[in-house]
Amino acid sequence: MAIEVPSNLKWEWPNEDIRALACVPADADVKIGVRVATPEAPRGEIYSYESRGVRFEIGWEGESFAVAVYGQAGLERAARFDGDFRYGEIVVAPACVTGATYPLEHPLDELVLLHRLTREGCVIVNGSVSLEGREALLFLDTTDNAPPLPAGMTFESRSVSQFVLRPVLEHNGVSDTGVWLHTMPWRNECSGMKFERAPLSAIHILCEDGKTPVERLSERRAENELLQHVFAPVHDPDTAGRQMEVVSRVVRRTSVLRLRKPWMDREISFNGDESQAALGFAPPSC
Longest dimension (CA), the chain: 67
Question: Taking the model in full, what pTM does it have?
Answer: 0.76
Note the pLDDT tens digit of each residue in 152-208.
444 444 456 888 999 987 555 555 678 999 988 765 454 455 678 899 999 999 887
Q: Which residues of the chain have pLDDT under 70?
A: 16-17, 22-25, 100, 142-160, 170-176, 186-194, 210-211, 261-286
Instruction: Give the list of residues 6+ apart from residue 194 with CB closer than 8 angstroms, or none.
Output: 156
Contact 193, 187 (CB under 8 A): yes
Helix (H, G, I), strand (E, B) or coil at 242: helix
Task: Specify the pLDDT at position 32.
Answer: 92
Give the 3-state secondary structure of 86-116. CEEEEEECHHHCCCCECCCCCCHHHHHHHHH
Contact 52, 63 (CB under 8 A): no
Q: How far apart are CA 276 and CA 271, in angstroms?
A: 8
Q: How far apart are CA 101 and CA 188, in angstroms?
A: 18
Contact 250, 125 (CB under 8 A): no
Contact 99, 10 (CB under 8 A): yes
Note the pLDDT tens digit of each residue in 13-29.
777 667 777 666 677 88
Task: Specify the pLDDT at position 175.
Answer: 53
Task: Specify the pLDDT at position 274.
Answer: 41
Task: Specify the pLDDT at position 35.
Answer: 92
Task: Specify the pLDDT at position 266.
Answer: 43
Contact 257, 212 (CB under 8 A): no
Contact 65, 58 (CB under 8 A): yes
Task: Specify the pLDDT at position 100.
Answer: 67
Kindly give the pairing relationship between strand 54-61 and strand 170-171.
Answer: unpaired
Burial of 82 (0-12, 13-18, 19+ CB in 10 A): exposed
